[in-house]
């Protein structure tokens, strides 16, 4: 039986709640890795927690700045030896992504760099508001090409685009956020799919899940996820 990779979004600044999430999501059927975003990383105790955390984790910072600043950001997490994934935003451009990937190799040889495409909270309407002339699928494919050229280890995109990305880039690691269990609310997400559709139908390598797992009873939610996938 395949062991699917699930990144659990620890979207909180409460260290005790993070400990609970990590404890209650542990199981033998899934490969669970905690994902920490801006809220936790910027919090007073978040950075300290990650310095001492003895398990692998994913740092979702979506770095997007000039190349020199982006490289410095990677250098600044040199002490976080168990950080095995980090995100950069394709909006930063090819040179920035190349610089980050190069610096990541020097800083931590376990660190994989994932390029973020169009956020799952956006859709064709919001893209037009920003000023883009391409639709979501067109823009994601364009960004995927840059991510591949940069040497990054994988791509972050909606599961709705994962299928077309897989068709063009067969070996690229694909991570999909915007995942909800059947019947759960979309909340602030726009392009949402179920875990089954993302992993099995659309061939994603891994998924990110937050509220569908961490809201209410975490252990029951994990069991719902297992029942849904298998």
Convert the pLDDT of each residue in 192-217 to its tens digit: 889 999 999 999 999 999 999 999 99
Task: Give yes or no for residue 155 having a pLDDT over 80.
Answer: yes
Computed over every residue of the chain, the mean pLDDT equals: 94
Q: What is the pTM of this model?
A: 0.93
pLDDT confidence of residue 142: 95
Task: Give the CA radius of gyration of the chain.
Answer: 17
Which residues are marked as active site?
Answer: 62
Q: Are 196 and 228 in contact (CB under 8 A)?
A: yes
Percent of the chain with pLDDT over 90: 85
pLDDT confidence of residue 28: 93
Task: Give yes or no for residue 111 having a pLDDT over 90.
Answer: yes
Displacement of CA 173 from its chain's centroid (Å):
11
Q: How many CB atoms lie within 10 A of CB 65?
A: 15
Domain map of the chain by residue range?
5-229
- Rounded to 10 deg, the angle between the 15-25 and 218-229 helix axes is 40
The average pLDDT across 166-185 equals 91
Q: Are 134 and 127 in contact (CB under 8 A)?
A: yes
pLDDT confidence of residue 190: 61
The secondary element (H helix, E strand) that includes residue 174 is strand 173-176
With respect to CATH, is domain 5-229 assigned 3.20.20.70?
A: yes
pLDDT confidence of residue 159: 87
Task: Give yes or no for residue 109 having a pLDDT over 80.
Answer: yes
């Amino acid at each position: 039986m395949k062991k699917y990779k699930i990144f659990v979004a620890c979207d909180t600044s409460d260290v005790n709640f993070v400990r609970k999430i990590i404890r209650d999501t542990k199981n033998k059927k899934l490969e669970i890795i905690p994902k920490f975003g801006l809220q936790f990383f910027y919090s007073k105790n978040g950075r300290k927690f990650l310095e001492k955390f003895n398990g692998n984790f994913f740092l979702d910072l979506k770095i997007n700045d000039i190349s020199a600043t982006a490289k410095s950001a990677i250098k600044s997490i040199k002490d976080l030896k168990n950080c095995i994934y980090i995100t950069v935003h394709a909006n930063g451009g090819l040179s920035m992504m190349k610089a980050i990937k190069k610096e990541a190799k020097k800083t931590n040889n376990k660190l994989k760099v994932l390029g973020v495409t169009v956020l799952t909270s956006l859709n064709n309407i919001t893209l037009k508001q920003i000023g883009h002339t391409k639709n979501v699928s067109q823009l994601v494919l364009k960004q995927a090409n840059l991510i591949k050229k940069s040497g990054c280890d994988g791509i972050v995109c909606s599961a709705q685009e994962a299928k077309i990305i897989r068709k063009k880039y067969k070996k690229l690691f694909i991570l999909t956020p915007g995942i909800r269990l059947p019947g759960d609310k979309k909340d602030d997400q726009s392009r949402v799919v179920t875990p089954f559709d993302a992993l099995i139908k659309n061939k994603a390598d891994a998924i990110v899940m937050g509220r569908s797992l961490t809201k209410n009873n975490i252990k029951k939610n994990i069991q719902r996820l297992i029942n849904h996938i298998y």
